[in-house]
Chain A
Amino acid sequence: MDDRPAADASPGEHGTSRELPLEISDAVIRLHKQYVGRGPTRVRTYLNDDLVTCVLEGGFTQGERNLQAHGEHALIVENRRLLQGAAKDALVAAVEAILGRRVRAFMSAADPRQEMQVEAFVLAPRDEEWRRFRDKFEADFGSLTELALIVDDNRRYVDANRAACATLGVEHAELVGRRVEDFTPEGLRDQVPDMWSAFLRDGEQTGEYQLLSAGGDLHTLRYRAQADWARGFHLSVLAPAAEDSADCASGGCSTSPFQV
């Protein structure tokens, strides 16, 4: 095995930025060096919705290897658990700072036989996180005639203004939790993951998009989307494509702070 610390990262589900898992892996290596005296030789971080899992390889001390050779497996596991307890606050703070989300639970386990360790961070639900930003969203976008939608990292709708709910033909509560693909015509659904990856990479996106309402109506809309309008929450503002020039000519252009 290569002895250099490797901060591998699996790309997060559905196009989450690769940088976040790498940052978490780096932080885990740094904190292990600080608390254990030796850092893992390799860390891979996986993001899946509200679960962050870091798989650590190597980095067990010579003392631990000697204990393992003498059958003291359980003692090493227990010591590692206690060490992780001591490092818990720092690990949780690092992950919360990197993701901008609250960690609900932290768990750690070690397998000295394979020189592996796992750190798991269970994140607070997104709807709970979103409460911090709801008032601003409502003030800025709540009464607009344009559609305003908030989507999380996994392309799930977290919030929408009244115009968006009306156009999509759903109640607000019915929309929250559903995915972008659920309101995309079947022929375009396959393109969504690539568009989403490009959007997160570029930070913003504009163009035309077709939305399929719950009742089956197809709407062609201009949109402007901004990644991380609030950290981990992505904003799209949409307006009917046909109203474009006529509205502006008559002085009826968008009053949105995030103009389409």
Chain B
Amino acid sequence: MRDDTAVDMSDGPQLETPAHRSPLLEISNAMVGIHKRTFGRGPTKARTSVTGDLVVCLLEGGFTRAEETLAHSGHVDSVVQTRLRLHALAEEEMIATVEQIVGRTVRSVMSASRPDQDVQIEAFVLEADHG
């Protein structure tokens, strides 16, 4: 599978009909939902790409007002640290979600954010597919 899908989430996660079911869209929707529950606000735009053993979600927007205030007053690092700690709480759910959607085992999940640029990523490295 190699593709990418960008979805605008400004009106909330997109609902899918069976005819439009796409694993990439499913991952994007799932990440938006998990971010919303974990951080209090979901990204406004999400794009998922799957290439070889890498699943990467590029998420835009979704930082809370408090995080934006901190970031714009020179405390980017504090936001990044807090996000990393909260991310650790959601990691298992993220892994289980991606594994269930792509049908492969996740070897590693890594997350990074740039609140001053309004972007973040969730990267999932999959176990090699020998099928």
Contacts and interface: CB of A to CB of B under 8 A. Distances in A.
Given A13-B4, A55-B125, A107 B114 contact: yes
B58 A109 contact: no
A116 B51 contact: no
Nearest to A82: B77
Secondary structure call for the A interface: strand
Given A10-B51, A46-B51, A122-B117, A51 B108 contact: no
A48 B51 contact: yes
Contacts of A204: none
Interface string B92-129: 00000000000000011111111001011101010000
Contact of A51 (B53, B56, B111, B112): B56
A145 interface: no
Interface residues of A, number: 27
Contacts of A117: 110
A120 interface: yes
Given A122-B58, A122-B117, A109 B110 contact: yes
Nearest to A113: B108
Nearest to A107: B112
Contacts of A200: none
A113 B109 CA distance: 11
Secondary structure call for the B interface: strand
B28 interface: no
Nearest to B88: A74
A134 interface: no
A110 B110 contact: yes
B6 to A, nearest CB: 8
A120 B123 contact: yes
Nearest to A119: B112
B34 interface: no
Contacts of A107: 112-114, 119-121
A17 interface: no
Contacts of B112: 107-109, 118, 120
B30 interface: no
Given A13-B4, A120-B56, A48 B121 contact: no
Interface of A: 10, 13, 44, 46, 48-49, 51, 53, 55, 77-78, 81, 104-111, 113-114, 116-118, 120, 122
